[in-house]
Structure 1
Amino acid sequence: MTAKIETKQDTSDRELLMTRILDAPRDLVYEAWTNPKHIAQWWGPKGFTNTIYEMKVKPGGVWRFMMHGPDGTDYPNKVVFEEVIKAERLVYTHGSDDDNDPNSFHVTVTFEDQGKNTKLTMRMVLKSAAALAEAKKFGAVEGGNQTLDRLEAYLPTM
């Protein structure tokens, strides 16, 4: 029997990590994140709206949507789910319909029960340190925080 040897690559130079404690139970936060009716209401930075074309939250499932910017620009998005553990973890690749999208990135979202609250952690790993620097230059940190602000504001309405 051969032992499987795993090596873990250090991604810290191309990683964006966002954490938020949300005043809502984990099941509700997960529902807001995985139900197209809900995610369309809060996803994206301030001023953005969404059209959800499909959302199949299962391994191999696809979430296709268009983000509409406040200036009228449309941003096509495609998410392919790799791992789905209900109310605990989502792992996916986020990019566009171009399977070789140079701007695609890998995402892990965890939902951690903290009594009546939920600790949400979103870890995005870009393809390179340069890609991370470019994303930051275009407001990825601010946009991510605004997206989580919108989620936080939406949860009490559910």
Structure 2
Amino acid sequence: MMPPSPDGETAAGLQFTLVRYLDAPREKVFRMWSEPQLFRAWSAPTGFRVSVGTSDFRPGGAWHCHMVAPDGTAHRAGGLYLDILAPESIVMSHSWEDANGQRSPETCLSVSLDALGERTRLSLHQGLFADEAERDGHQAGWSECLDALADQLHALAAQERSG
């Protein structure tokens, strides 16, 4: 058990895990994370768009994302790929960057992909966050992104069937 922080919140409460079952083989789901043009297509919450995204997809490589909210507000994030085991897992750091280039505290984001025949179980874990509001915002955002990932996988499968 993790010790409580000074305000009584346990570190366990400042992280989250999301699980999705996707109708696509693990290798295809991994490509959705590893290929920048595919990643940009689904990796922003509902109503947001990725205006710039770069990725040096290798351990030690950097990634950067510039998202634009529906109201035009810019959100910049970035980090490093810490570990990649194709097509099973990706571990990366994540932090926000303000307009002056100041970075927020880093969190660690890990994605595990388990093959279930022609389906994949995706487990996304992120933490530790500074507070519950930050955790809840990320959890909601990633939940919407994973819904968009499932939609993109369905669209790609339909395109493959018709093409």
TM-score range, shorter chain: 0.7 to 0.9
Which of residues 104, 113, 119 in structure 1 aligns to 2:121? 119
CA distance in 1, matches of 2:40, 2:153: 13
Distance apart, 1:91 and its partner CA: 0.6
Unaligned runs of 5+ in 1: 1-7
Moved more, 55-64 or 94-103: 94-103
Distance apart, 1:35 and its partner CA: 0.7
1:133 counterpart residue number: 132
What is the 5 A alignment of 1:71-82?
Answer: 71-82=71-82
Moved more, 10-19 or 86-95: 10-19
CA deviation profile, 1:73-107 (whole Å, cap 9, x unmatched): 11111121010111101011011458973342111
CA distance in 2, matches of 1:89, 1:77: 21
Which of residues 141, 149, 152 in structure 2 aligns to 1:151? 149
In structure 2, relative to structure 1, the CA distance for the partners of 1:136 and 1:83 (3 Å cut) is closer
Identity %: 26
2:47 counterpart residue number: 47
CA distance in 1, matches of 2:29, 2:92: 17
Is this contact kept in 1: 2:97–2:104, CA < 8 A? Answer: no
CA RMSD of aligned residues (A): 2.2
Is this contact kept in 1: 2:15–2:135, CA < 8 A? Answer: no
Which of residues 101, 104, 108 in structure 2 aligns to 1:102? 104
What is the 5 A alignment of 1:52-63?
Answer: 52-63=52-63
CA distance in 1, matches of 2:122, 2:33: 11
Is this contact kept in 2: 1:94–1:105, CA < 8 A? Answer: yes
CA distance in 2, matches of 1:134, 1:96: 15
SS of structure 1 residue aligned to 2:70: coil
Residue identity matched to 1:110: S
Unaligned runs of 5+ in 2: 4-10, 157-163
Residue identity matched to 2:52: I
Distance apart, 1:9 and its partner CA: 6.8
